[in-house]
Amino acid sequence: KTPLLQVNNLSKRFYAGYKGFKREYNQALSPVSFELNTGETLAIVGEAGSGKSTLARILVGAEVRSSGEIYFEGEALEKRNLKQRCKLIRMIFQDPNTSLNPKLTIGDLLDEPLKFNTKLDARQRRAQVVDKLRKVGLLPEHADFYPHMISEGMKQRVAVARALMLDPKIIIADEALTALDLSVRSQILNLLLKLQKEMGLSYIFVSHNLSIIRHFSDKVMVLHHGEMVEKATTEELFNAPKHEYTQRLIQELTLFSQKRHNRTLKKHG
């Protein structure tokens, strides 16, 4: 069976200036390969600077890769064709306050991605906007609001709706849950799970936080200094991590949750 997304030896280096007469490069991402099937969730885990965002940005076409191939349903994705890319893979970012233009109404924010689909007239576009607002638990009336008029959780719902506008197959969430308050975080998480079931979406969750991805990703890829150190199902990774670096990450997570547990015990007697 052909995977939905197949990535072969994808890498990225950034030009870092001259050292003497030699051009220097910074290897942000060493060759990585992975695949993603329909309805699956892949987590990409790593510390700051490990290459997670670079990988995500290459997938959505916001960055040009240095090497490697990307296949979508067996067909090669071109290096620069944004229009083709936007219909397949869309991204949700960490902070809706920076990812949503404050000068646009929610309706205009949602309408914007539709410019990649020129076949729709104004009425059809409006219908799309209303449909996506409903899908993320907002009302048609919210189309006339500006981002500053709604709560943080609602803003992140708008970011999700915006990502859904072209009916993509894959959504990449780049730390999209990390910055949210715990209660809002679980709301957005539940929304994403509901949408996955309804629409058969595949997710790529980019996060430095292992505990967030533990309970809902099917498989995990661990990056460290731009190198892939481990790729496993989530269960395998948490039960029997193979790489020393991953073992340390999981140990730290366990220690952390034990500490928290002990604190709770103390507080409540």
**CA Rg value for the chain:** 20
For position 176 contacting ligand ADP by CB under 6 A, the verdict is no
Q: What is the DSSP letter of 78?
A: P
Could you tell me the CA-to-CA distances from 14 to 11, 27, 52, 55 in Å, in that order? 10, 6, 15, 13
Contact with ligand ADP (CB under 6 A): which of 2, 14, 64, 134?
14
Binding span for ligand ADP by CB under 6 A among 1-9, 42-50, 160-168, 214-222: 42-50
Contact with ligand ADP (CB under 6 A): which of 4, 5, 10, 28?
28
Task: Map tokens 């071109």 to a residue.
Answer: 78
For position 207 contacting ligand ADP by CB under 6 A, the verdict is no
For position 46 contacting ligand ADP by CB under 6 A, the verdict is yes
For position 49 contacting ligand ADP by CB under 6 A, the verdict is yes
Output the smallest distance, CB 163 to ligand ADP, in A.
18
Contact with ligand ADP (CB under 6 A): which of 17, 19, 22, 48?
48
Contact with ligand ADP (CB under 6 A): which of 2, 9, 26, 211?
26
For position 52 contacting ligand ADP by CB under 6 A, the verdict is yes
Nearer to ligand ADP by Cβ, of 46 and 241: the residue is 46
Contact with ligand ADP (CB under 6 A): which of 4, 10, 32, 51?
51
What is the rounded distance in angstroms from the CA atom of residue 18 to the CA atom of residue 194?
Answer: 50
The two three-digit tokens of residue 119, written as one number: 């076949």
What is the rounded distance in angstroms from the CA atom of residue 46 to the CA atom of residue 55?
Answer: 12
Q: How many helices (H) and strands (E) does the chain have?
A: 10, 10
Q: Give me the residues paired with residue 202 across strands.
A: 170
Could you tell me the CA-to-CA distances from 153 to 100, 159, 187, 189 in Å, in that order? 13, 10, 8, 11
For position 147 contacting ligand ADP by CB under 6 A, the verdict is no
For position 11 contacting ligand ADP by CB under 6 A, the verdict is no
Output the smallest distance, CB 195 to ligand ADP, in A.
24
What is the rounded distance in angstroms from the CA atom of residue 187 to the CA atom of residue 180?
Answer: 10
Applying CB under 6 A, the residues found at the interface with ligand ADP are: 14, 26, 28, 46, 48-54
